[in-house]
Every structure is written in structure tokens, then in C-alpha cells.
């Protein structure tokens, strides 16, 4: 029987590290992102697993729906035993105070961080005869206001509430489906690079984030991926919980 992991934003950073780790754990990988990481194909093959890439602009709602319809058809097969859906893709843009936001960037960010995960989750939970686990990559920004990050904070906070609401619904319905969120903390990724290139006018805490890089405080995506995958595979992981990486560090 097949075990399949669907990962958005799998081409780089945490998404690529999660995909590699899950391939090593015996999961076939379905990547959903604009670009493809060909290394994942090699790693999956070396571990005897399948790899599929579906190119998709997650800021385009109709493209997301069309793409995930194809993904759904691939995973909803008689020989599929278990499905993971990992909403890893996200954007911190626009970085600026309210009053200086570009409407299209606000729309794109909301679509990527919140609406696309909702659409994909809604479609996947139509499956009733397989074990389905959904994991949403969230942020500490969901729990506190950060000047210049109003859209990012708001969309991640909404994603947390969506996670908790879906968990409640699945519990009420008596299904075996599980959904949780995971805050990976600060990592050495392209998103952090984007944050560091903003201006102090856009983001007053920029010096602090530049210091994270200079002082070597950013965790490697591979380190975070190992913790996340352990949580994902743990049968004791609870639905509806917003997990924090700091709770798993010594």
C-alpha cells in the first residue's frame, strides 16, 4: 500500500528538507510549487519511492483548484493507505506598515498563506477511507503583532484558527483524520533573506533579524524538518494543537 506526502513549497528551504526526510521514511512525494527541485526526484528514487511535481502558482485560486484536483485524483486510489498534506508554502510580503500596502500583494499573500490551504484541505477531506493528516506550517507572528507584518501576522493567526476549527469538526464527525499546526521558529531560509533586505521604514525590527543571521541564530531547515517529521509520524500527536518547535528543543 502507498503512503503519500503532499508538500507545498517543496522546491527549497523547509519544504525541500521535509520532503527529503519523508522520502527516507518511506513516503512517496507530491510537490506543489512554481519550480521543481530535481534533487527530490533522485532522493525519492534512491529510497524506492515515487516523486511527482505539480507546477502551481499558489497565489492563483483557480490554478490551485485545478492543480489540486489532479493531485486528489492521484492520491485517492485503492492502493493508497495514508496521505499527508503539508501546507509549507508561505510569504511574508508585503513588509510595510498599513497605509503603504499594495492591494495586489495583500491579495496574493492572503491567497498563499490562507486561502490555498483552506481550498486544499477542503478537497482532501472528501476522502473518507484513508488515514489523512494535515499539517499547517505557522509562525510565532500568529500570536503577536509585529510592526510591518500586518498581513503575515493576520493570515497565520487565521490559519491557526482554521486548524483548530477543522480539528473540532473532525472530532465531532468521529473521523480518524488529524490536523495540527507547527511553528518552526527562525530558520536560515529565503524568507529570512527577504526580511533582511527590507528597510527600517518598512520594518522597524530589521536590525534584530539581521542580527539573527550575523550571530548564527538561524536554524538549518534540515534540523527543523527532523523535528517536524518526528511529530508528524508520532501517533500521540494531537489534532487541533498549535505545536511550537521550542517545546522540542533541549
Catalytic residues: 152
Q: What is the grid cell recorded at 140?
A: 510565532
Please report, to the nearest 10 degrees, the dihedral formed by the alpha carbons of residues 201, 101, 153, 135 taken in order.
Answer: -130
- How would DSSP label each residue in the chain? -EEEEEEETTTSHHHHHHHHHHHHTT-EEEEEESS--HHHHHHHHHTT--EEEEE--TT-HHHHHHHHHHHHHHHSSTTEEEEEEEE--------S-TTS--HHHHHHHHIIIIIHHHHHHHHHTT--SSEEEEEEE--GGGSS--TT-HHHHHHHHHHHHHHHHHHHHHHHHT---EEEEEE--SBSSHHHHHHHTS-TTT-TTHHHHHHHHHTT-PBPHHHHHHHHHHHHH-TTPPTT-EEEGGGG--
Can you give the length of the chain in residues? 250
Q: What is the spatial distance between Cα 164 and Cα 159, in angstroms, rounded to a whole number?
A: 9
Q: What is the spatial distance between Cα 178 and Cα 132, in angstroms, rounded to a whole number?
A: 6
Amino acid at each position: 500500500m502507498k503512503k503519500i506526502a503532499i508538500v507545498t513549497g517543496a522546491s527549497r528551504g523547509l519544504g525541500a528538507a521535509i520532503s527529503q526526510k519523508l522520502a527516507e521514511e518511506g513516503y512517496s512525494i507530491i510537490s506543489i510549487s512554481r519550480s521543481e527541485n530535481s534533487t527530490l526526484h533522485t532522493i525519492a528514487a534512491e529510497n524506492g519511492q515515487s516523486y511527482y511535481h505539480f507546477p502551481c502558482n499558489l497565489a492563483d485560486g483557480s490554478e490551485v483548484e485545478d492543480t489540486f484536483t489532479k493531485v486528489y485524483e492521484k492520491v485517492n486510489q485503492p492502493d493508497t493507505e495514508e496521505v499527508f498534506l503539508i501546507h509549507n508554502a508561505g510569504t511574508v510580503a508585503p513588509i510595510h506598515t498599513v497605509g503603504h500596502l499594495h492591494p495586489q500583494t495583500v491579495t496574493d499573500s492572503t491567497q498563499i498563506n490562507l486561502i490555498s490551504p483552506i481550498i486544499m484541505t477542503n478537497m482532501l477531506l472528501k476522502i473518507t477511507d484513508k488515514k489523512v493528516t494535515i499539517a499547517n506550517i505557522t509562525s510565532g507572528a500568529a500570536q503577536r503583532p509585529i510592526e510591518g507584518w500586518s498581513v503575515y501576522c493576520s493570515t497565520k493567526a487565521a490559519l491557526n484558527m482554521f486548524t483548530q476549527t477543522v480539528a473540532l469538526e473532525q472530532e465531532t464527525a468521529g473521523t480518524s483524520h488529524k490536523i495540527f499546526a507547527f511553528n518552526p521558529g527562525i530558520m536560515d531560509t529565503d524568507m529570512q533573506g527577504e526580511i533582511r533586505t527590507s528597510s527600517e521604514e518598512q520594518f522597524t525590527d530589521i536590525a534584530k533579524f539581521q542580527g539573527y543571521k550575523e550571530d548564527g541564530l538561524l536554524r538549518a531547515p534540515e534540523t527543523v524538518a527532523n523535528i517536524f517529521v518526528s511529530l508528524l509520524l508520532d501517533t500521540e500527536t494531537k489534532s487541533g494543537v498549535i505545536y511550537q518547535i521550542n517545546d522540542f528543543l533541549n
